[in-house]
Every structure is written in C-alpha cells, then in structure tokens.
Amino acid sequence: MENQKSKIKSQNYNNKYKLITFVSFFLTFNFALLTFNLRHATAQSLSLSISPPLLEVFIKPGKSITQKYKLTNNGEPTLISLKLAELNEYGINLENSSSDKWISIIDSDIVFNLPFALENGQAKEFVLKIQPSSQLKEQDYYRALVFSTESSYSGQTTASTISQNLVSPVLITLTSTGQVNKAAKISRFEIPRFLDSFGPLKVNIFIENIGNIYFRPNGDISLEGPLAKGNFKIEPNIVLPETLKILKTASSLDMENTLNLPGIYLGKYNLKVGFTLDEGNIRIDQTRTFYALPWKAGLFLLFLYIFVLILRKLRKRKK
C-alpha cells in the first residue's frame, strides 16, 4: 500500500482508540493471540493456528474483496465457534459487530456463531468477504475473527478441560479516494543529560499518531560515541489513531524501555531515532546528546580523600 498525505479531514475519530495496552495486546505485527483457561489438570491439549493471522484492507464503498483463511487444529479434537468482534478501547466487543452484514463468510460450511468440529491435524478453509455499501461511513473499521473452542467435545473418550480463544484482527480502511492522512510526532524523548560511565543507558521514546489511520514505525535507533556504537531496529508495532505508544527494540532487556543498554560509557554520545510511517516517504528523525562521566566513582574517591585527610588531622592532634 502506498502511503501519502491527504487533505481529507477525519471526522468523528475522537475518543475511539485510546487504550495503548489493548493495541499492543491485539494488533502487533503478524501474530495470533492465544488465551488458555485451565479449569483443572489434564493431559490433553489444544492448539489452533490461523493463516493469515492479520488482514489489512483498503477498500472503496460499494466495492468488494475476498480473503481465503485456513484454520488448523494441531491438538485434540474440539468444537469451534467463529464470531465476528469489534475492536475498541475496551477490548473485544461481540455485540456491536452483529450489524456488520457487509462482512460475511462464503464458499464454506463454516457459519458465524455456529459450532463445528475439527479433528486432530485437520484444517478447514473459508473465504471472508468484505463488501461495504456506498452509504457506509468512510473511516477505519477494526474487527476481529474470534475462534472459541468448546469446553468439552463429545467425540472424545474424556472431555477436554481446556478452552482456547484465537483472535485474528481485520483492519479495514474505507475510503473513496484511496488516500489517507498518516501523521505522527515524537511526543517524548526521555534520555539522561548526564550518565554515569558504568551505565546502564535507559532510553524511552514515545510516538503519537496524529493522523486518522494506523501505521507501523519502520526504522532504527543509532548510538555513536567514543566507547560505544550500535544500531537497533525498531519493532514495527501498530500505532492506532490518537494513541501514544512507546517505541520498542529487540535490544531492550525489559518490556518497559525503548533501550536498556549496560556497558561502559565515557565522553559525548549522540542517540538518533529515525523511522518512516510504514514503507512510505513520511519520515521522522530526532537526535539527542548526552555526556557520560564516572561521577559516582569520582564522588567515592572524593569522599575517600576527605576521609583520609580527616584521619590524618586526628592523628596529628593525638601526637
């Protein structure tokens, strides 16, 4: 998809997608969410997979598009129910999505809200059809296919006590022009002005989506200085409109910081972040400078020196 600026003004997008935790939980790059609820111990297991795990669609009102899915059961035989859900700031909403008659399943014996059996190693294919009417409002529609297993399956000698939900997000952008307004800014760039030479270096960078469509940051963060250099790829996690999200890198040692780098630093360092919105030409760059000095060791040596001087004076007085 080509990403370009548009003069189209978004309408009624306020207060729609504000929960960053939910975004991180449900819309990360190319994944399937699995949730297990163990009621009591059992030797049985369930394992479902869906392909594709994530669907992104740009479509004009009055047009239609189809996508083939494949659901595979690599675990115990089970009964599965497929539901269409809405993704919003509260999580998955199964009630509001019931009016989405323009999203349907064709060329398959699978039907929304009706359980079907899936044996071990068996796979089922179905086709999802998206056909918005010309009267439908032009905006983003965030939906999800939710596959829920039944708590028991009569075809088994022992009833399964494991239930599982598999969620496959469907991100739909309805636009008659094919153009979207993607825009972002770095709202917070948290980095120490002065760093102790023995680290670690902790950096937090927050980006804000100020456009009217989601995007993925595609770029890296570079560190340059006398004793340390490095390049760290930004994880392309989805950022929804009107949300603030912390950038993540695989180099972070925890889940709280953009960077968490132990090491020995000395002198002047430049930390530069640069990324584009998806694969487009909208680019954002920003650089921060910090200085690393062994100030903790210096303070220790200073206190030690003062302590030695005091001891010498006390000894001279005793003499």
Residue 50 sits in a domain of what CATH number?
2.60.40.2310
Same domain, 111 and 232: no
Same domain, 150 and 213: no
Its domain, for residue 277, covers 184-297
Residue 318 lies in a domain: no
Locate tokens 């978004």: which residue? Answer: 10
Residue 10 lies in a domain: no
What pTM does this model have? Answer: 0.65
Q: Residue 314 is inside which H or E element, if any?
A: helix 295-318
Residue 282 lies in a domain: yes
- Read off the pLDDT of each residue in 293-312 and give the average, rounded to a whole number: 71
Measure CA 208 to chain center. 14
- Domain boundary at 139, 174, 209, which? 174
The tokens describing 307, both together, are 């302590």
Predicted local confidence at residue 19, as pLDDT: 34
Residue 6 lies in a domain: no
CATH code: domain of residue 240: 2.60.40.10
Same domain, 39 and 151: yes
Same domain, 205 and 289: yes
User: How many residues does the structure list for the chain?
Assistant: 319
Lowest-confidence region among 7-11, 104-108, 212-216, 257-261: 7-11
Same domain, 239 and 117: no
The tokens describing 27, both together, are 């819309």
Same domain, 260 and 283: yes
Residue 315 lies in a domain: no
- Domain boundary at 174, 198, 226, which? 174
Which own/partner contact pairs does 14-21 have at CB distance under 8 Å and 24+ positions apart? 14/242, 15/89, 15/242, 16/88, 16/89, 16/241, 16/242, 17/88, 17/89, 17/142, 17/240, 17/241, 17/242, 17/243, 18/89, 18/242, 18/243, 19/89, 19/90, 19/243, 20/243, 20/244, 20/245
Same domain, 37 and 164: yes
- Read off the pLDDT of each residue in 247-259 and give the average, rounded to a whole number: 81
Same domain, 40 and 143: yes
In the predicted model, is pLDDT for residue 312 greater than 80? no
How many domains, the chain? 2
Predicted local confidence at residue 139, as pLDDT: 87
What is the distance between the alpha carbons of residues 106 and 112, in angstroms, rounded to a whole number? 11
Same domain, 232 and 196: yes
Q: Name 168's bridge partners.
A: 145
Same domain, 253 and 230: yes
- Domain boundary at 124, 139, 174, which? 174
- Read off the pLDDT of each residue in 76-85 and give the average, rounded to a whole number: 91
Predicted local confidence at residue 153, as pLDDT: 56
Residue 105 lies in a domain: yes
Residue 311 lies in a domain: no
For the stretch 230-252, pLDDT in tens is 999 999 988 888 889 999 998 76
Same domain, 36 and 169: yes
Same domain, 280 and 188: yes
- Read off the pLDDT of each residue in 188-207 and give the average, rounded to a whole number: 92
In the predicted model, is pLDDT for residue 224 greater than 80? yes
Residue 113 lies in a domain: yes
